[in-house]
Structure 1
């Protein structure tokens, strides 16, 4: 297997992490955070290969903390580690997208329903603040895009928190990073960003009206809009591996026309 050595140290502005300067006991955590962020933001693109040695060299630390970080990332589903062959950033397939959104949809709907009965004015103001973060239409504005997508993730985390169900919030938190990576793939080039933001505003209005049924329905619609944004990006990427699911989805879209 030929493993390309990539520059994993490239970051966007204020997100640079001085891993080598970290206390020894936290170097594995810092390496994990730095690599995870770059994978989520697709700075390390799906399918990209690198070596443990190259990661250690670029981060400026020893191989042992990098090995620990990579093992955690493998458990999280972000990388595939092949002994003596290097590491590969986990690909994103249409099957992955469908599974994540099938899991997300009922959880988000229940969170919205519960939040409608429990959220207060402070919570509504927080959701509004997160929705008001502007979208960075300029693809070169990495910091602006990071702020927008970070606010989107925070919006859904806050909504889950306002539901008042700790287990539900934990379940949604468990897929938040994977969902954010999907959004980094799909949102920058999507013409439907305005739809996503409009649905956030509608959800806030339903929550303010204490209409749990409508809030849940809007959460389902929002999940499906978000899923289509990502599906379109994955289908256009040319990097899809589960061809059978690809064909099935294509046939389904053609049948709807």
Structure 2
């Protein structure tokens, strides 16, 4: 049994009207996050347009956008390919994430007037629960983990920090999801998140930042251990659920 809580609304709302290219872009990024497209996969614009039921023009626009962001590359006369993971770039993104999040928790402890307390209350409802109330659903915990870190930054009240952090989160999502394939990592996440929240509640900024730094560093080390084999295992597991 685990607690039922509402999803965290920590990211800006999507525009009410999106172009077909935007929809294709979001779907392809989701395919990467869900391991339906993994590093090394090759495909053509025609295959994507037929699968999604759209013309090739929005598909091409979406793919060029994904190419600019480093997810895919165009192959001469042979379609497109999902790029291998760039672990040096992931390292840099984790370093940036650590700066943003530790700065945010200091602000949460030092500037109460700007703090979004409702967001912190939602985090408490998810993470400060008894062991029997914890979720064992790895996919759900992965989503909650991402929302936890986004909420810490958003709750601090600096919109530009939240925007940059959202972009970093978007770019490391696929690799972070692979960190939640084993139960010990879920247990550790609950324990570490609860300690961070308790330090914030007590306005102990240095302690909260130290705990958060160690928490992110552990995840960063795990990312460096990820292999292509794990990615394909995750794809098979995802396919078995669908």
> Under TM normalisation by the shorter chain, which class is it?
0.7 to 0.9
Stretch moving more, 126-135 or 149-158 = 126-135
Aligned to 1:154: 147
* 1:208 maps to 2:201: yes
Q: What's the Cα RMSD here?
A: 2.4
> Superposition pairs for residues 104-115 of structure 1, below 5 Å?
104-115=97-108
Distance between the aligned counterparts of 2:41 and 2:141, measured in 1? 25
> Superposition pairs for residues 1-150 of structure 1, below 5 Å?
26-117=19-110, 118=112, 119=115, 121-131=117-127, 134-137=135-138, 145=139, 147-150=140-143
Structure 2 counterpart of 1:229, from 203, 222, 227: 222
Aligned to 2:189: 196
Structure 1 residues 31 and 162 mapped into 2: Cα distance closer, same or farther (>3 Å)?
same
Distance between the aligned counterparts of 1:103 and 1:231, measured in 2? 16
Structure 1 residues 183 and 151 mapped into 2: Cα distance closer, same or farther (>3 Å)?
same
Distance between the aligned counterparts of 1:50 and 1:156, measured in 2? 34
Deviation at 1:175, TM superposition (A): 0.8
Question: CA offsets per residue over residues 95-129 of structure 1, 9 Å max, x none?
Answer: 23322212211111111111223336423211123
Deviation at 1:211, TM superposition (A): 1.1
Asked which structure has the greater RCO (Cα within 8 Å, sep 6+), the reply is 2
How does the TM-score come out when normalised to structure 2?
0.77
Stretch moving more, 56-65 or 118-127 = 118-127
Aligned to 1:163: 156
How does the TM-score come out when normalised to structure 1?
0.73
In the alignment of these two chains, the number of paired residues is 208
Distance between the aligned counterparts of 1:193 and 1:220, measured in 2? 18
